[in-house]
Structures are given as C-alpha cells and as structure tokens.
Structure 1
Amino acid sequence: MKKFLSKAVLSATLLAGAIVPAAANLQTASAQDAAIPVTILAQSSSEQNANIVRDQLTKAGFQVDVSLQPDYASFNAQKDAGNYDLAISSWTTVTGNPDYAVRSLFISGGDYSIISNPEVDELIELAASQTSEEYVETYKQLEEVLVTENAYIAPLYTSLKAQAYNHEVLNGDSIRLSKSRAFAWEPVSYNDESLNTTRPLVLTQEMGDLTSLDPIKGNDGSINQLNTNMYVRLINLTDDDQITSENSLSHNFVIADGNLDYYFILRDDINFAKIEDGVAVDTGDLVSAEDVIFSLNRAKDPESVPDHRTYSLHEHISEVSVVEDIAELEAAVVSGSDQTVKEALEAGLETPIAELVAAEADVDNAAGNYQVVKLTATEPFPQVLNYLGHQSAGIVSEQQVSAINTYDVAAYDPNSDIAYGDQRAITEGSTYDNHLWASGPYILVDKNDYQANFVKNPAYRPDTDADANIEAVTVRFIGDASSSLSALRAGEVDLLYSLSEVNYPIVEGETSLTLQSIPSNGVAYMLFNTNTPGRPVSDSVNLRKAILYAINQEEINAAYQGLKLPAFTTLSPLVETGNTLVADPAKVEEFLTNYINE
C-alpha cells in the first residue's frame, strides 16, 4: 500500500535540507502534515545526542519525538516494549578484540541482539576463526550487511576516553588510563602515602542499581568496574589492549600450536577474602585450579544461573581441565615457535616446574609445585584470550557460590531467592547478609542508595608490588554527569573516570585537576527497532536507509568541539575497514520515495 506524502513537499524538503514553510508549497498539505513520525529513545545522559539527531531528522522532513528516560532501567523497559524507532545506544569493546564488538550485539540470540540474520551470523563466525591479517575483509563485509544493506544501526561517532583527577591529592604516576580495561584501583596512591591507610579513595559512577556482583550475571556500567576490581582473572589487558599475565592469576600463559589449546600456570599468593563484622578477612582458601574450572564452566553455560548475561562471550570454551602430566607440557609446542609449552610457562619463574599438582593443598610455587590449567577451544579461536580478560571471566569461589546458589535454576524466584552476588545481600538494612568472597584486590563491604564501600583484600598478593596501595575505596552513585564533575571540582571526589569531551575545557581550567584522554573503543550509535512487526522501521529497510543517510557525523562532531572520531559500526575503533557514512540528502529522498511506494 502506498503511503500518502506530497511529492512536491518531499522533494522540496529533502533537497533543500529544511522544512518548507506551508506558504511555499503549492499543494494543500504542508511538509509537517506529511512528515513521517519517528520516535527516538534515549537516556537522559544521551540528551545531547538525541537533540542533535532530532534536529537532523527534522531538517530532513521527519516528525521527531524524543522519549527521554531518566535511567538505564526505564530505557530498557521502553526498548523491550518496542516503544521506539531509534534507540541511542553505546558500546565499548572492553576486551580489545573485534569479536566482542559484534557478537553480543548482532548475532542471532546474542545477549543484546534483536537481529536474526544468517549472513550476519556466518560472517561473525568466520571472522572469529581468522587471524588479524585475514579478518579485515570479513569484518568489512559484515559492516556492509549491518549498515549499507540492512540499516540495522546508524553510527554516530567514536569517542575519546577521558578521566580527570585531583593531582594535589593523587600521585599522577599511579593513575592508569586503559583503552579497554576498566579503571584499576590497586596501583593508585596518594601523594602523601600515609593517607593510603586512613583515607578512602573516592570515585563515582552513574548507576547505583547494581545488576549483580556475580561476574557472569552482568555486563553493564553498574558493575563492570566493580567486578573488575573484585575478581581476579587468568589474564589481563595492558593499557593498549595487549594480553598480559601482569596482576592476574597466572604467572604465564601459552597458546599451543593449532590455536586450540591454551595453558596457564597459576600463582599461589592469592586467597579469597570475605567480610566479617565489616572487616575483610583472609578465608585461607587459595584461588586455585578448581575455582578456575568452576568459574569458566559456569561462565560458558547459559543454564548455570538465571538471567545469565555473558555466556555468549565464552561459548568458544570447550573444556577446562588441570594438567597433571609434565610430559604433556614438554611435548606441546608454542604456536608459531619451536619452544615447548613447558619452557614458555617457566619463563621468568623463580623456581622451575618440578611437579604438576591437582590438589590445592599440594600447591607450593617456591618448591616448584604448580597447578596448570588447560583451556581447549571449540575451534581455533585466538580471541578467546581477550574474553578471559573480561570481568565476566572473574574467578569466583566454588565453595562459596555453591553454598549460596542452592535454588533450582529453572524455578528461581527473584522475589524470594537471593542468588550469589545479589545486591540485596550487601545493601544496608534488613536484607544485609554479605556473602561475597572476592579473589581480586578489593571486596565490597556494603552499599546504600548513595554509595558502595570497598576495602582491600588482605590475601591478594600481600607484600608484593601487586598489593593494593589504598586500604578503602568509596564509589559514590551520582546519576548526573554535571553533578559528578562539580563534585570533582569541589574536592568531594578524587577521580572522575568518565568525562565528556564538552567538559574538557572546564577541567583544563582548574589548577588542581589533570585531564587524561586517549582514543577509546567506545562507539555511539542508534539501533533501529527491527523487532516490532507493524512498526514502519521494523518492516521497511527503505525507511531505515532514509533515516540513516540523514545522519551527519560532521555536524555531530562539531557539536562536541571536534573531539569525536568517525564511526561506521562498533568495529570502527578496532579494524580499519575503510567504510564511512556520509550524509546524503539525495539518498534520503531516494529511499523515502521507495518507502512511500512500497
């Protein structure tokens, strides 16, 4: 069925790039009467983006309504209900690898995907099996399917990553700014080191409603930084996204020839901590191979917990096991090398491997008794290591999680069952019963509506360079970015982890503050509603393309003082595909005409 829209109005509106006054139109219908309605869904924190896009689409002849939601929960409720045409979204590839930038968002059945396209699925899987030299062309094709052919998303920009801190209080040499990894707390120190044991480090984040302190049950801004600092992982990412064993559970890691088997030799100087009477105490329980196996098996199993949010990140894990025979390490060869796996795992160790042990009680690195964990992938997939650096791969205690999660997963009732990591267990009041065991440098003591309080894990690599410097960390929940900046300027907050480019001049004007910024892996984009039958944008690729080519990234960048970078998809900061989006009024007219004539 044809949709009524005056051709004269359409042509004049789109070619002129502005709404034509009714007096200029010789036909009776005005441009506004004929304009196609579009609803933009956004959180209040994205209000500037919503306003810019609204103006661009209005200029292109659409009738635009902005549905601004106060928080992530309200935004998600409207999104799940399908009450939008475009949802302003963002994604940061916190693992530093391109598979993470697309899998959860676009693969059929992905954690955040509303798309089901076999070609998209095939290209994602193909690229995952390829080396970095091979996958560029595959990801280029994937981008074209996502944007050029189907207009599933409309890119806005790539951001810089910035933070600001009070250099009169904090030692600048101890402050890290990582491209992907969440902010690490343990290196931070005060200029006056005597304050490390007496003064809490005060940070802030927008979200105070914590999804879960169980690392596999959340992957959002409410818990990423918290869980990253509360659970150790097999490996970490460097500040520039390289895989490292630094400050991880492993001394070394090795990829064996064939890219199917991955070996990790574990340290023996990290125990789990728990909270007793508001104080962090050493449980005496070593973070061991059995905890690694338990943690990664539940991470990859979508049925291991209700509302599992991160299983798709770990679906390439086939098996996790303990190696007990040194001969296996001596026979296996490092990928791309003649070196044996044993030699690579022993590199830099004070004591070489004398014996491989399975039992936690037999571990003694100083005597040469080590645990080695072997991870076997479902297929050659080198990017599996990047996922092991994600907070969802944090190592939890098999003993404690099993003791808390006694419910039937299929019959789980969130109103009566409190699962491991449920924020109710650490919220002040009648529900408080802190059951957390932390393997990382800090553990959460308690929270309320205003802040969460952490203390140092006394059993995390004590008396080493990795031992956390500051004894306590307070994370204040401040939902408004302007209020967070005001708190930093007033000295109420020591460091502001996330800072919008529009606020750079304010920070640079403060003599007590230092600004740090680098290109990030964060991309802002608009997700088209392709999942609500009967809604025009869901049913018509022509309409989506008309909206797509009305987006002008240069104008958006100008609104941010030229501090944004171009984007095509969430892959843009990671893979140079050469794809670009250029606003084109002629294409807007072409696809809108096609839509009207459908």
Structure 2
Amino acid sequence: MKKRAIPALLLSSMLVLGGCSIATKKDVVAETSKEPADVQKPVDIELLTMSSNETDANVIRDQLSKSGFNVKLNLQPDFGSFTAQQKAGNFDIAISSWTTVTGNPDYAVRSLFKTGGDYNKGPISDPEIDKLIDTAASQTPEQYKATYEKLEQRLVFDKAYIAPLYVSLKNQGLNKNVLNDSSVRLSKSRSMVWEAIDFADTSKRDKDPLILQQSIASLTSLDPIKGNDGSINMLNTNMYVRLVNLTDDDKITADGALSHNFAIANGNSEYYFLLRDDINFAKIQAKAAVDSKDRVGAEDVVFSLNRAKNKDSVPDHRTYSLHEHIKSVEIVTDLNTLSSVKQSGSNSTIKEVLEKGLKSPISELSGNKTDVNNQSGKYQVVKLTTTEPFPQVLNYLAHQSAGIVSKKQVESINTFDVAKYDVNKDISYGDQATVTEGAKYNNALAASGPYILSYKNDYEAVFYKNPGYRIGTEYEPKISKVVVRFIKDADSALSALRSGEIHVYYGVSETKFDLVKNDSKLKLQTLESNGVAYLLFNLNNREVSKSEDLRKAVLYAINQDELIKTYNNNKFKAVSTLTPLVKTGLELKADPNKVKEFLKKYSESK
C-alpha cells in the first residue's frame, strides 16, 4: 500500500494546534508507554499448593490473573514438601483444607483460628475471634448459631483471614465382589471403621488381607496426640480405642468404645465413664501381633487424657487445644458418689445411667485395673471435670487424639526431658522410624484399638488384628490383616481399585464418579462431608499480612461457582470451616467491582 502525503495546509494547521511543538520519537514512545489512569499494575502474589490440588490451583490462578494479580505458583509434590514451604513462609496464600472429624463446630475453628491454636498456620491472632470461639463453646446449639455467625463475619468478610473455596462430598469406592458392601461404613465425621469390614466370602478372613489406600506415606506420628492430619488420622483411629465414638451421623455413642456407658452430671461440667474389661493392649513380636495381657484400664485413661491436655507433655504436641477444657481426670472408687449425683436434666442418678443395659449391675469400684471383673459386678469408673460447662468435650473425646495409650509403655520410652528433646538422638513413642523397615526398626507400639501397625515401608503399611480386642463380640475385628498402600496419584489409586489391587479407595475425584458407578464390580458411597477447602493467608511478614485490602481483593476474586463446575457440581459453596455444621446464612459472592476497589485502596496506601 502506498503512503499518502499529508497536504501542506493540513500539516500547518496541526502544528498550530499542537502549540507549535513537534513530538519527537522519544516523546511518542514515552507517551504510548503510559498506562491508562484506571489500569492497575498487576500485584504479585504467591500461591502454595500440592500437586494433588493442581486443578484447584489452576482455576484459582486464572481467576486471580484476570482480577489483576501476577500469580506465582509454588507447586509442591507432596504433603511433606508443602508443609516445609508453609513453615518457611514461602507463600502469600496456600490451598488448605480442614475436616471436622469430631462433628462439633468448636473443632471447626478452635485449632485453626484461635490465638496459639496448634493448627493456626496464618497465624491468626485476633482477640475478638478468640472471645467468640470461647463464647460459642459454652453455648447450646440454639444459642451458638448467632455467635458463630459473628465469628464467620469477622473471619471472612471483615478481616479476610481466609478465602473459602468449597465443601466436599465424602466418598469412597469399594469392590463389592470382594467385600460385603453392607459392612463398609461411610461416616460423616469418623474415619473408616476397619473392624466392621468383612469379605463377601468370609472364609478369606484369615487368609487374605483387606487392602486400603492413602496418599501420604510419611506418617507424622503413631502417638495419637502428636498428629492430626491425613497421614495418620485413619491409622491412629483404628489403633487406639477411645472413651466414646461417633455414629455415622455424628451422634455420641459408647458403641465400639472403651466405655459401657457414660453420663453427664448436673451442671454439664462432670462426665462419668464406666469402663469395659475386655480390651487388652496388643504388641508386636517378630512382626506379629500378640496379646500383651495388659488390660486397658482407668489408669491408662487418666494418663492418656492428662497428657492430651498438657501442651508440654510431649515435644511437638499437635492436639492440645482440642483438650484444653479438661480440668481434671480421676478414678472414682467410692460407689456412693455415683448414687448421690444426678444426671443432667433428669432425676436419674449417675449410677442408674451407667448401669443401663449391663448384664451385671455395679456392686464394687476398683482403682486397680487388674482387679476388675465386669461379670461379677466389679468395674472401673473415670470422672472427667471440665474448666467450665462444655458439652462439646464429648466430641473431642471421640477424636483420635483422645486414643488411650499404655501408661506403662509410653513412660518406658519417653524418658527424655521434653524441654531438652533432641530430634537427632531422642526417640519418642510413636516415631515412624521405629516401625519403618530397616536398621532403625524397633516396634514398641502398644495398641488399645482393634488393629496394630506391624511395619511400614515406602510402599505400604501392614496392620494385624489385636488378639486381645473384644474377643467373641460383634466388635472383634473380622479380618486378620489390613494393608494400607501408599498411592499418591489419584488416577493411579482409581486404577488400582478398578484392577482389584486395592479393595477400597477413599476420596474418589468428583470428576471420576461415573467411572466407578459404571463398573459392575464397584460401588460408590457418598455423603456431604465436614470437609472444607479454603485459601489461607500468610499473616507473617508478607504484603497480604500488612494489607487487609489486599486480602479482600483476593477474597472477592474467588468464584466458587467456577470451581464447583470443574467437579461436575459435586462440591458445594462454603463460607468457612463452619459451613457444614452451622448454617449462618452468610454467603460469599465473587465481585469484580470490589476487587478493583480493594486493589485501588491497596495501591494508594503503598
């Protein structure tokens, strides 16, 4: 195309209108490089996640990029690497998740958001949030809804300490040709109940192993108070019995627990538990499970719960905040005490409540577990007193961290000074190195639950039935051996289920539900869970820690509907970790205008 000449008269007019100045090449470049006044310079932000959450990370990165952020993705291959990066503070926002495995709302917030909480990774330190958590903990469900609404409002909307993503379905796929599918439970909060699972062909119970799967191979600790994560929750739940359990729909029960019955005294601060005498600790000899002949008794309960509530009882205690409402734990030896105290809200005595359904009524109480004989009416009773009225304490006693350990065994191993603990030379009870095949293998576990871990390697962990657990009852484990395969990749785990290499796969991706449903040998079990995914802000020496406006810009850039669509609508909108438990009526909606507003405020404040 030919260039057209500009007429002289027109050129002259242009020069006059331009103030008789002619723009140079340098002026033109400078002028065209200027951004429009209303265009914000992209804000740098680092997103930390694991490869297993890559789908979420990609969607969130796209949403933030479109909203004016320059996103650096810090993608880690596994949970251990993710945790290391989180501890080092190498993130602005991290994809996090929390499952309320106790079925009560206090658990959904206390560890995560209360100042000093053992899983408060922000860390968040907000006196108003602390006060709301403690207030709600002392209230009934009818009262605490309004309190939790105020908490959610401040946590998410007022301060933007977290940005919610979604509520997940809890699900598992199982091989119904191998297993009796009616024996495989899916509970809203409680972890998988191994002792109930049975083969379709019961003749296989002692010949074939039950093969399960989990993605994390590095186990935090086999000491129940030293871990509260996906690496050990299922394992420790099945290794240690508790005073109470949760039903599949989150009701407190003594079924499958150490207690025959439990009772709450008037005032809701004193709790009584009548113990069973048909559970012994298992131990490992030559990699086989044997009955130690040491009964699980009140002495072990008092020891276990006292160390659970004491932050300094072990190095790296990770569950103490769950049990901080425990004031004291003691063995009751005076039978008259049970007859003189009334049950909360009734005229029945504690003794009458504890005796309900017993074959032999309580005729004597013992302070020594070796003297107990339930069949002749001789029992042990443990009394737990809380610092204030706190009915939710029962939910915490159903948590794996309240698992009963052997006083004798733990004290024989944890001989070090906790304050001077040296990770390089001191060995603590439950250290995974002691159960890992190799030169350091020295299994000293004492399991009070239906199964005990014999050994592990990078490929699998092998458990055996506790030969001293509820023998001859419906709670005696059906299958003698359980193998937990470590399969990190979700697609590989699903392939293992479909090929028969594993029998149950917990946590099938929502996008793969149809593959399970359409496989004639498989069955998919689902229910809405207490699991919530959210973005956690780094509140320590980062721009997002300094600027509430910057956090709010991220908050309103998140479009939950888009995230949920990537999972074929098999997830649900969330506001906080409380969402599955308390319907506050609050809702987060993506809002591009608010994003611009808060980014502008952030830029102007710098």
Distance 1:175 1:78 in 2: 37
Aligned to 1:62: 69
Other-structure match for 1:476: 485
Partner of residue 23, structure 2: none
Aligned positions, number: 573
Is 1:316 the counterpart of 2:325? The answer is yes
- 1:50 matches 2:60: no
Q: Residues 339 and 351 of structure 2 are in contact (CA less than 8 Å); yes or no, is this contact kept in structure 1?
A: yes
Q: Is the 8 A contact 2:111 2:321 kept in 1?
A: yes
Choose the corresponding residue for 1:128, options 137, 146, 154.
137
What secondary structure, in the 3-state scheme, does the structure 2 residue paired with 1:438 have? coil
Say if 2:153 is the partner of 1:147.
no
Write the distance in 2 (CA, Å) between the matches of 1:100 and 1:189: 32
Matches within 5 A, 1:404-553: 404-532=413-541, 535-553=542-560
Question: C-alpha distance in 1, partners of 2:182/2:80?
Answer: 37
Q: Secondary structure at the match of 1:549?
A: helix
Amino acid at match of 2:570: L
SS in 1 for 2:571: coil
Confirm or deny that 1:88 pairs with 2:95.
yes
What do the CA deviations read for 1:141-172 (whole angstroms, capped 9, x no partner)?
00011011100000000000000000010001
State the shift of 1:336 in Å.
1.2
- 1:86 and 1:356, CA in 2 relative to 1: closer, same or farther beyond 3 A? same
Superposition pairs of residues 173-572 of structure 1, within 5 angstroms? 173-532=182-541, 535-572=542-579
| Cα offset, 1:28, TM superposition | 2.3
Deviations 1:179-234 (A, max 9, x none): 01111100100010000110000001011111100000110111100000000000
- Aligned to 2:47, the other structure's residue is in SS state strand
Q: SS of the residue aligned with 1:251?
A: strand
Answer yes or no: is the 8 Å Cα contact 2:167–2:572 preserved in 1: yes
User: What residue in structure 1 maps to residue 15 of structure 2?
Assistant: none
Structure 1 residue aligned with 2:595, among 582, 588, 591? 588
3-state SS, counterpart of residue 283 of structure 2: strand
| Segment of structure 1 superposing worse, 372-381 or 78-87 | 78-87
C-alpha deviations, 1:285-344, integer Å up to 9, x for none? 110000000000000001111001111110100000011112111111111111111100
SS in 2 for 1:337: coil
1:574 maps to which of 568, 581, 584: 581
CA-to-aligned-CA distance 1:346-401 (integer Å, 9 cap, x gap): 00001111011111122010000010000000100000000000000000000000
How much has 1:72 moved relative to structure 2?
1.2
Percent identity of paired positions between Structure 1 and Structure 2: 60
Q: Which residue type is aligned with residue 422 of structure 1?
A: D
Whole-angstrom distance in 2 between the partners of 1:543 and 1:423: 41
Query: 1:29 aligned to 35, 50, 59, which one?
Result: 35
CA distance in 2, matches of 1:235, 1:360: 19
- Distance across 1 between alignment mates of 2:228 and 2:138: 24
Residue of 89, 92, 105 corresponding to 2:112: 105
Question: What SS is found at the alignment partner of 2:194?
Answer: coil
For 2:370 and 2:231, the matched residues in 1 are separated by 37
Residue identity in the other structure for 2:270: D
Query: Would the aligned equivalents of 1:292 and 1:395 in 2 still touch at CA under 8 Å?
Result: yes
What are the Cα deviations for residues 251-309 of structure 1, in whole angstroms up to 9, with x where unaligned?
A: 00111110000000000000001011122111111100000000000000011110011
Q: In 2, are the aligned partners of 1:32 and 1:61 still within 8 Å (CA)?
A: no
User: Which TM-score applies when normalising by structure 2?
Assistant: 0.93
> 1:73, 1:454 → 2: CA distance?
23
> Within 1, Cα distance between the matches of 2:368 and 2:117?
37
Q: CA deviation at 1:32?
A: 9.4
* Larger deviation, residues 354-363 vs 176-185: 354-363
Whole-Å separation in 2 of the counterparts to 1:488 and 1:26: 60
Which residue matches 1:166?
A: 175
Distance in 2, Cα, partners of 1:97 & 1:307:
25
SS at match of 1:65: strand
Relative to structure 2, which stretch is displaced further, 269-278 or 514-523?
Answer: 269-278
Distance across 1 between alignment mates of 2:116 and 2:446: 32
Q: CA deviation at 1:509?
A: 2.0
SS in 2 for 1:374: strand
Query: Which of the two has higher C-alpha Rg?
Result: 2
Say if 1:160 and 1:517, in contact at 8 Å, map to a contact too: yes
Give runs of ≥4 in structure 1 deviating > 6 Å: 30-33
Q: Distance in 2 between matches of 1:422 and 1:459?
A: 24
- Displacement, 1:33? 8.5
Name which of 33, 41, 45 aligns with 2:48: 41
What is the letter of the counterpart of residue 578 of structure 1? G
Whether contact under 8 Å (1:363, 1:369) holds in the other structure is yes
What amino acid does structure 1 have at the position aligned with 2:555? L
What TM-score, normalized by structure 1, do the two folds share? 0.94
Paired position in structure 2 for 1:597:
604
Cα distance, 1:26 vs structure 2: 7.4
Asked whether the equivalents of residues 115 and 531 of structure 1 are also in contact (C-alpha less than 8 Å), the reply is no
Does the residue aligned with 2:142 lie in a helix, a strand or coil?
Answer: coil
Whether contact under 8 Å (1:32, 1:63) holds in the other structure is: no
* Residue identity opposite 1:431 in structure 2: K
Counterparts of 2:77 and 2:376 in 1: how far apart (Å)? 57
Q: Could you report, residue by residue, the CA deviation over 1:76-100 in whole angstroms, capped at 9, with x for unpaired residues?
A: 1211222111100000000000000
Name the CA distance, whole Å, in 2 between partners of 1:575 and 1:389. 20
Task: Kindly provide the CA deviation profile for residues 514-542 of structure 1, in whole angstroms up to 9, marking residues without a partner as x.
Answer: 0000000000000011122xx21110001
CA deviation after TM superposition for structure 1 residue 29, in Å: 3.1
Q: Secondary structure at 2:578's aligned position in 1?
A: coil
Give how far 1:106 is off.
0.4
Can you give the 5+ residue segments of structure 1 that lack an aligned partner in the other structure? Answer: 1-24
- The aligned amino acid for 2:108 is A
Task: Provide the secondary structure at the position in 2 that maps to 1:349.
Answer: coil
When residues 511 and 32 of structure 1 are mapped into structure 2, their CA distance, relative to the original with a 3 A threshold, is: farther
In structure 1, how many angstroms separate the alpha carbons of the residues matched to 2:198 and 2:482? 12
Indicate if the aligned counterparts of 2:40 and 2:68 stay in contact, CA closer than 8 A: no
